[in-house]
Homo-oligomer: A and B are copies of this chain.
Amino acid sequence: MPTYQAPLDDAQFLLNDVFHIDRYANLPGFADASPDVVSAVLAEAGKFCEHVLAPLNRTGDIEGCTRHADGSVTTPKGFKDAFRQVVEGGWIGISAPSEFGGQGLPMIMTQLVNEFLCSANMAFAMYPGLTQGAIAAILVHGSPEQKQQYLPKMVEGAWTGTMNLTEPHCGTDLGMIRTKAAKQPDGSYKITGTKIFISAGEHDLAHNIIHLVLARIEGAPEGTRGISLFIVPKVMVNADGSLGAKNAVACGSIEHKMGIHGNATCVMNYDGATGFLIGEENRGLPAMFVMMNEARMGVGVQGLALSEVAYQNAVAYAKERLQGRALSGAKEKSKPADPIIVHPDVRRTLMTIKAFNEAGRALVMWTALASDLHHHSPDEKTRQAADDHMGLLTPVIKGVLTDSGFANCVLAQQMFGGHGYIAEHGMEQFVRDARITMMYEGANGIQALDLVGRKLPKDGGRALQAFFAETQGFIKEQGADAAMKPYVEPLGKALGHLQAATMWFMQNALAKPDNAGAGSTDYMHMFGLCALGYMWAKIAAAAQTKLKAGVDARMSAKLVTGRFFMERILPETTAQLARIQAGAASTMELPAEMF
């Protein structure tokens, strides 16, 4: 049975020593995030995740969700009580505005708590997680009345939220959506159609479910410019906020899937259900993107979270399992064999995961901080730069932290040998659960295209230039320090590869877009490695500073792990550049019938 311990120390180190949240105390939210509050919130969240959610992870996987003949869905044993504790703890609304009942703390706190929740029980964490996404969309695009009507209950967790995009014939290509919206005399709409893959679409955890649904208003233009976003409550809400009649929306079935069995993935049938337009007509896609970007960050965090919990369990096993002797001579002679953590290939594996997790957490926090600055900074330039940062890094975090998160779960499972294949150890569940993160909220190939096709050229490449300016400024600033050379030199080299790849796209992809498409996934991963490398350089600088104050084994370990990243992981950019510069010719040449 796997266990979990929230990485509180690492979170505090990143908050205080790497990102210096005390510097932002003048901003709304941060003032309330005093060291005491931060510490208490994280500790409380950690305790809940370790003691309540983690023990329900495997039982939830085994039991799964059950749909009954009347369309209702029962979640696994224990989920209902755990969700009650989510409501009591106010975990959904940590960063929601206080006017709607939220705690108004920075997003950086929400992302940390979400990591803990997903490590402990990803299938469960999706219920509050999707609610946060729906809250974000209503906050930005909802009318004042809609906000008053829905947000307090959602922030509290009395009601949950969903996002309804996918239909059987279209996922990525939302211009093909067929779900219809017919305008009614009272200004509401009748929504009719079928949506699939709706996570948390139906369950027994909350009194109501607020579905955000993409649909096409009768007579709207074809394609993506004719799609609108609607609020469709499971149960109608009366003017006084009480619940009224059941709406004409129902769960038709739940999917049999590889993992996240504790989350109900529903086929949702809308049969003339009453819906309310959110935002403007035919502007549903941009509105949904607010939610989707939030969700994409959240999915990146899921990848990180599963990598972390899988790592913790692999470490425990590697310290306990006795097998073979160290190549440099027996380490524990009194035992029949050494613990397998003495073996270089085992350590290489554990170091690989560790190096990703610690920098991945930093990358999420760096970007969450940008989200806070974007929302709260009084300075327009800062707000814009923060928005640029989020736009650029969101597909990278989604694509890279989930590809790596899954790969790391596989590596962690591998540490168990054949035992990793046996369900009781729980490692194979992490692998199965992590697999979905690469697919949903835009498959990772779509993230790569979003990065290369939209985010790079946007505003004349302003976001990318800012990224290069910041990272190269850091290298210049730190380059004089000999102790920082093992970090900034490899980082500089990798950034050079990233620049060369960017240049290659500029020169070769305008005339032949396939050249960008064929290199997009490599580019996304190269970007991810550079961003993670920058995080390691920042972490190393912070660790050096702390070490000047005296011996600190944790900080020394940071320096070693950072070096491992630079020596063993970052060199991949060389191969990525070669692949990108090979262009699209051999990729595109075969006629389809030769596959």
- A-side residues, CB < 8 A to B, are 166, 169-173, 176, 197, 255-259, 315, 318-319, 322-324, 327-328, 336-337, 339, 341, 343-351, 354, 406, 410, 413-414, 417-418, 420-424, 428, 431-432, 435-436, 438-440, 443-445, 448-449, 512-514, 516-518, 520-521, 553-554, 557, 560-561, 563-564, 567-568, 571-572, 574-575, 578-579, 582, 584, 586-592, 594-595
7 shortest A-B CB distances, which residue pairs? A344-B517, A571-B578, A327-B513, A567-B582, A258-B428, A344-B518, A564-B586
A594 interface neighbour in B431, B444, B553, B574, Cβ under 8 Å: B553
Q: A579: which B residues are within 8 A, CB to CB?
A: 567-568, 571
Q: A172: which B residues are within 8 A, CB to CB?
A: 323-324, 417
Q: A595: which B residues are within 8 A, CB to CB?
A: 315, 318-319, 341, 350, 354
Q: A518: which B residues are within 8 A, CB to CB?
A: 344-345, 347-348
In the complex with contacts A575-B575, A595-B354, A440-B423 CB distance below 8 A: no
CA distance A146 to B350 in the complex (A): 46
Which residue of the partner chain B has the closest CB to A416? B439
Which residue of the partner chain B has the closest CB to A323? B173
Please name 4 further chain A to chain B contacts, defined as beta carbons within 8 Å, in addition to the given A171-B323, A327-B514, A568-B579, sorted by A numbering: A169-B322, A256-B423, A431-B435, A572-B575
A514 adjacent to B328 (CB under 8 Å): yes
A258 interface neighbour in B323, B421, B561, Cβ under 8 Å: B421
B439 adjacent to A560 (CB under 8 Å): no
Which residue of the partner chain B has the closest CB to A176? B336
How many copies of this chain does the complex contain?
Answer: 2
Q: A554: which B residues are within 8 A, CB to CB?
A: 594
Closest chain-B Cβ to A425's Cβ sits at a distance in Å of 10
Q: A257: which B residues are within 8 A, CB to CB?
A: 421-423, 428
A592 adjacent to B337 (CB under 8 Å): no
Q: A586: which B residues are within 8 A, CB to CB?
A: 351, 560-561, 563-564, 567-568
CA distance A564 to B448 in the complex (A): 20
Q: A591: which B residues are within 8 A, CB to CB?
A: 553
CA distance A413 to B436 in the complex (A): 11
A587 adjacent to B323 (CB under 8 Å): no
Which residue of the partner chain B has the closest CB to A259? B421
Which residue of the partner chain B has the closest CB to A352? B587
Q: List 5 A-B contacts (CB under 8 A).
A: A351-B586, A418-B440, A431-B435, A432-B432, A571-B578
Q: A169: which B residues are within 8 A, CB to CB?
A: 322
A587 interface neighbour in B170, B351, B417, Cβ under 8 Å: B351
Which residue of the partner chain B has the closest CB to A571? B578
CA distance A340 to B592 in the complex (A): 11
CA distance A269 to B21 in the complex (A): 60
> Which of A171, A173, A337, A406 has the most chain B CB atoms inside 10 A of its CB?
A173
CA distance A568 to B588 in the complex (A): 13
B587 adjacent to A564 (CB under 8 Å): yes
Taking chain A's interface residues, is the majority helix, strand, or loop, or is none over half, making it mixed?
helix
Q: A440: which B residues are within 8 A, CB to CB?
A: 418, 421
B328 adjacent to A256 (CB under 8 Å): no
A588 interface neighbour in B347, B432, B590, Cβ under 8 Å: B347
In the complex with contacts A567-B586, A574-B574, A514-B344 CB distance below 8 A: yes
B344 adjacent to A584 (CB under 8 Å): yes
Closest chain-B Cβ to A105's Cβ sits at a distance in Å of 31
Closest chain-B Cβ to A345's Cβ sits at a distance in Å of 4
A557 adjacent to B422 (CB under 8 Å): no
Closest chain-B Cβ to A126's Cβ sits at a distance in Å of 13
> Which of A327, A512, A594 has the most chain B CB atoms inside 10 A of its CB?
A327
Closest chain-B Cβ to A174's Cβ sits at a distance in Å of 10
In the complex with contacts A560-B590, A568-B586, A423-B258 CB distance below 8 A: yes
Closest chain-B Cβ to A244's Cβ sits at a distance in Å of 33
CA distance A424 to B438 in the complex (A): 19
Which residue of the partner chain B has the closest CB to A172? B323
CA distance A513 to B342 in the complex (A): 12
CA distance A518 to B327 in the complex (A): 11
Q: A350: which B residues are within 8 A, CB to CB?
A: 595
B589 adjacent to A560 (CB under 8 Å): yes
B258 adjacent to A431 (CB under 8 Å): yes
CA distance A560 to B568 in the complex (A): 32
CA distance A337 to B173 in the complex (A): 8
Which residue of the partner chain B has the closest CB to A255? B422
Q: A513: which B residues are within 8 A, CB to CB?
A: 327-328
A337 adjacent to B176 (CB under 8 Å): yes
CA distance A554 to B341 in the complex (A): 49
Closest chain-B Cβ to A423's Cβ sits at a distance in Å of 4
Q: A584: which B residues are within 8 A, CB to CB?
A: 344
B578 adjacent to A574 (CB under 8 Å): yes
Q: A564: which B residues are within 8 A, CB to CB?
A: 586-587
CA distance A323 to B174 in the complex (A): 9
